[in-house]
Structure 1
Amino acid sequence: MAIDRITIRKPDDLHIHLRQGELLQDYAQDVGKWCKRVVPMPNTVPPVITANQMLDYKKVIEEASPGLVVVPVFKIDASLTFDDIKALKKSGAFMGKYYPQGATTNSKGGNTDWKSCFSVFEAMESEGLILSMHGEEPDDPVLLREERYLSRLDELLMNFPKLKVILEHVSTKAGIDKVLSLPSNFAGTITAHHLHYTLDDVIGGSLNSHLFCKPIIKSAEDRQAIRAAAFSGNPKFFYGSDSAPHQKRDKELKGAAGIYSALTAIPTVIEEFESANKLDCLENFLSTYGANFYNLELNQEKITFEKKTWTCPQEIHGVVPMRAGESISWNRAQ
């Protein structure tokens, strides 16, 4: 029997970019239509490093989209002391995000010396904070950057065996296999665009700059492994959109890296789970496994989705969204 309505706990988006300034309200309200909680990435300008900056950013987002709850996160810097980490934890931090320098948007102030952050990782392990990793070697060939980075996860396990670690936006079969090989304190987030697309969609017929992101979308084999992990019911893998808006002109003229998926990521995920006959695993992927890894209470608010075709706008807030102009078969029930 075909399913045309699904009710689940309202999802958590555990990896999203909401930016700054006037457009933040639009971006926050878009994701608030689909998700109850978000983990907003701290690679702002200036970055979110201190407890006060983290609390200020949380307040701005929650005021912009009433009902949306921010799970606080800070950007890891080698200068952070044990007292700084304690202050961040006391202020509500759940996670610190590690960026290799130059790996993604606003990462020029990222870290160049991996081991210079080991004292920060030690403090985070002691305080029970999660280490979020943008797992790419920025100087390596683009299609190999994630795979070449994975040995660092083994190094983390050796030095900080109790530290919880998330390999964000896993984009390769090698990344999936690595997360599977490690203990239960290692997990990975999966995006809608890595579930849905392959590199051919980005550069096959012609260049689609609006699908350019970091880590870049990869091969059909990589997508197959990512899909298998998402549909598997393994609690190591859960949802994070990595929705990352850039204005249309910046995407088309400057090649800015990021896909704006806040409007369409959840219905795309539902389509993918439906196509695999795995809708029974949907709630765990979107709403349960990530919360459990973060030690968050499960959302009590519910959301219903219905089989009702709609067309994604060609442009919104000056941004070309993922699946612009396409018909999408699932929507929020009215």
Structure 2
Amino acid sequence: MQPGSARDAGGPRTLTLTRPDDWHLHLRDGAVLQSVVLDSARQFGRAIIMPNLKPPVVTTADAQAYRDRILAALRQAGVPDGAFQPLMTLYLTDNTPPEEIRRARQSGLVHGVKLYPAGATTHSDAGVTDLLKHCRAALDAMQDCGMPLLVHGEVTDPDVDLFDREAVFIDRVMRPLRQAYPALKVVFEHLTTADGVAYVREASGPVAATITAHHLLYNRNALFKGGLRPHWYCLPVLKRERHRLALVDAATSGDARFFLGTDSAPHSRGAKEQDCGCAGCYTARHAMALYAAAFEAADRLDRLEAFASLNGPAFYGLPPNEGVLTLERVPERIPDALPLAGDEVVPLAAGESLAWRLQAR
């Protein structure tokens, strides 16, 4: 579908929500961080910040230092103190010690530990090679202290078809993990398949999932419309239409296990448009307008607030934000490119029109 193809004529003129949160965000570092942080801070009260930097964020001290850099970038961008809270994560490795998990939990700054299967996505070379073989001590500590495990839910076995990697991950990793650690809080991040939706709905214990705007709006045909389109390439990759429809049904169902996570991932145009382009879609600038388009197309705008603003805090044990966000029904064209650290990033759906925008102030 096109982002602006929702029912534009007869719907509400404004939409006011409890200020939402982004439970899966890439901010990068350095000049790129400075270029993108305001796009998220304009819309969201908090965000779970991904730790896949180079080198990765593997200790509480690393997370504290990264948070300080984010706060400095926010101040430089003119964001008032406290208006946007970065919720930090650690990058799980084969050697993460349990005492680091406990230290992170006690810090009050770290809100999750990220599982990247080695080689699964951008900067995942230091990821886990065998979760239950190498990480049991860390998992024991996480279950004991209530630290959520945030999973990139794909296997990296080269014999597994790219479009089947999520379903295989459920069988090979998630089911054994849940049997061994039934009380462990797990977030299945950037869910992409009907298989994943069914698993999250039926799983016992504290299991939830984030869903991106691009997986709600597009199927894998978007990658090849008029030619190969690298700015629609992400991991996990876009799937068949039946999977998109299952994600829309889950996101708009009111089920508290599903909540917003953009997985917005900035890459320069050159890094995307090359013979081995990077995976990731940049959606931060227009995130809430994109989600509104998906919910309106399903005639479920009334359920956007729960998905965007309430379900995530409830799972993470945090209160909802106190402020509000208002969208207005004013058409807005997504720019062809945005500045990125002396270069440019091409946002998802560049050149297309959205029916919603942030209310002008």
TM-superposed deviation, 1:95: 0.5
Tell me the distance in 2 between the aligned counterparts of 1:306 and 1:184.
38
Gaps of 5+ in 1: none
The Cα offsets for residues 278-330 of structure 1, whole Å up to 9 and x where unpaired, read as 11111110010001000011100111110011111100020000111111110
How many residues in Structure 1 have an aligned counterpart in Structure 2?
334
Q: Does 1:80 align with 2:96?
A: yes
Q: Which residue of 2 aligns with 1:148?
A: 168
Query: Which amino acid counterpart does residue 14 of structure 1 have in structure 2?
Result: W
Q: Work out whether residues 55 and 91 of structure 1, in 8 Å CA contact, stay in contact via their aligned partners in 2.
A: no
Counterpart check, 1:321 vs 2:347? yes
* 1:128 pairs with 2:133: no
Letter of the structure 1 residue corresponding to residue 318 of structure 2 = L
Paired letter, 1:245: P
1:309 aligns with 2:335: no
Corresponding residue of 2:115: 98
- Which amino acid is 1:235 matched to? A
CA distance in 1, matches of 2:229, 2:70: 30
Q: Tell me which amino acid in the other structure corresponds to 2:283.
A: S
Question: What CA distance in whole angstroms lies between the structure 2 residues aligned with 1:180 and 1:313?
Answer: 37
Name the aligned partner's letter for residue 327 of structure 1: S
Please tell me whether the aligned partners of residues 264 and 323 of structure 1 are also in contact (alpha carbons under 8 angstroms). no
Is the counterpart of residue 172 in structure 1 residue 193 in structure 2?
yes
Residue by residue, what CA displacement relative to the aligned partner does 1:72-129 show, whole Å, maximum 9, x if unpaired? 2111122222211111111122100001000000001111122211221111011110
Deviations 1:36-72 (A, max 9, x none): 1011100101101111110111121122123210112
TM-score normalised by the chain length of structure 1 = 0.98
The partner residue of 1:21 within 18, 30, 44 is 30
Q: Hey, what's the Cα distance between the residues in 2 that align with 1:297 and 1:333?
A: 24
- Report the Cα distance in structure 1 between the residues aligned to 2:107 and 2:189, rounded to whole angstroms: 24
Using the size of structure 2 for normalisation, the TM-score is 0.91
More displaced, 71-80 or 93-102? 71-80
Report matched runs for 1:252-291 at 5 Å: 252-253=273-274, 254-291=276-313
Cα shift at 1:204 = 4.1
2: distance between equivalents of 1:134 and 1:2? 36
Query: Is the partner of 2:174 in helix, strand or coil?
Result: helix
Aligned-pair identity in percent equals 36
Helix, strand or coil at the partner of 1:72: strand
Using the alignment, how far apart are the partners of 1:284 and 1:212 within structure 2?
28
Question: What does residue range 25-104 of structure 1 map to in structure 2 within 5 Å?
Answer: 25-65=34-74, 66=79, 67-92=83-108, 93-104=110-121
User: Are 1:114 and 2:123 matched, yes or no?
Assistant: no
- Output the CA distance in 2 between the equivalents of 1:28 and 1:274: 27
Deviation per CA, 1:192-215: give whole Å up to 9, x if none.
Answer: 000000100112431110010000
Distance 1:37 1:258 in 2: 21
Structure 2 residue matching 1:308: 3-state secondary structure: coil
- Structure 2: distance between partners of 1:319 and 1:302: 29
Q: Distance in 2 between matches of 1:309 and 1:205?
A: 25
The 3-state SS of whatever aligns with 1:263 is helix
**CA contact under 8 A between 1:168 and 1:188: conserved in structure 2?**
yes
Give secondary structure in 2 for the equivalent of 1:150. Answer: helix
Letter aligned with residue 163 of structure 2? L
Please say if residues 211 and 260 of structure 2, whose CA atoms lie closer than 8 Å, have aligned partners that are also in contact.
yes
Indicate the larger mover: 79-88 or 98-107: 79-88
Q: Is the 8 A contact 1:78 1:120 kept in 2?
A: no
Which letter does structure 2 place at the counterpart of 1:98? Answer: L
- Cα distance in 2 for residues equivalent to 1:214 and 1:22: 24
Alpha-carbon shift at residue 184 of structure 1 (Å)? 4.5
